[in-house]
Amino acid sequence: MVDKSIWGMLFVLGLGFACAPASWAAEAKAGKATYDKLCVSCHGTDGKGNPAMTKVFGEKTLNIATKATSDKKDEELLKVITEGRGKMPAAGKDLSKQDQKQVLEHIRALAK
Ligand code: HEC
């Protein structure tokens, strides 16, 4: 009986270790926090555009959860985030390089 419960515990511990430290998950999570703060008002939680804002900017421009966006290079998207383009403000201009990368990871995750 005792033996069995120890194996059970080891199994649970093993699962925990297998899932916990995945660093990409941590990156995407930090990116989400930034996104929720600076980007969600226009691009929406799912990246498809906040319904209230799509009336102003148009659905097509605000939808960044698309292949068209994810196909673009990191540098190109980072430039839009930090310098703005058209009606997109330079929303990420004050972010650290790492924050910029994380928010980009988050956008790329939305497009999948
Ligand atoms: C005031 C509304 C607004 C906010 C806030 C905003 N965006 Fe945008 N975003 C836009 C608009 C409008 C466009 C389309 C620009 C164009 O037509 O060139 C756009 C375009 C983009 C694109 C380019 C997509 C492509 O396929 O080229 C990216 C990437 C992007 N936004 C990311 C972000 C991120 C990340 C944030 C937060 C740091 C953010 N946006 C905040 C309005 C906004």
pLDDT tens string 54-97:
999 988 899 999 999 999 999 999 999 999 999 999 999 999 99
> Could you read off the pLDDT of 24-43 as tens digits, one per residue?
677 768 999 999 999 999 99
Among residues 99, 100, 101, 81, the alpha carbon closest in space to that of 91 is found at 81
Name the band, by pLDDT with cuts 50, 70 and 90, for residue 21. Answer: very low
Nearest CA to ligand 1 atom 36: 39
Q: In this structure, what token pair is assigned to residue 107?
A: 């956008």
81 CA to middle of ligand 1, Å? Answer: 7
Dist. CA 32–CA 46, nearest whole Å: 11
Q: Is the CB of 70 under 6 A from ligand 1?
A: no
Nearest CA to ligand 1 atom 43: 88
**pTM for the whole structure:** 0.82
Nearest CA to ligand 1 atom 32: 81
Residue 5 above 80 pLDDT?
Answer: no
Give pLDDT, residue 20: 47
Beta-carbon count within 10 A of 44 CB = 20
Residues 67, 75: Cα–Cα separation, whole Å: 16
CA–CA gap between residue 16 and residue 89 (Å, rounded): 41
d(CA 11, CA 32): 31
- Model pLDDT, residue 10: 64
Domain ranges within the chain, ordered by starting residue: 24-110
CB 28 near ligand 1, within 6 Å: no
Determine the CATH number of domain 24-110: 1.10.760.10
**From atom 22 of ligand 1, which residue's Cα is the shortest distance away?**
80
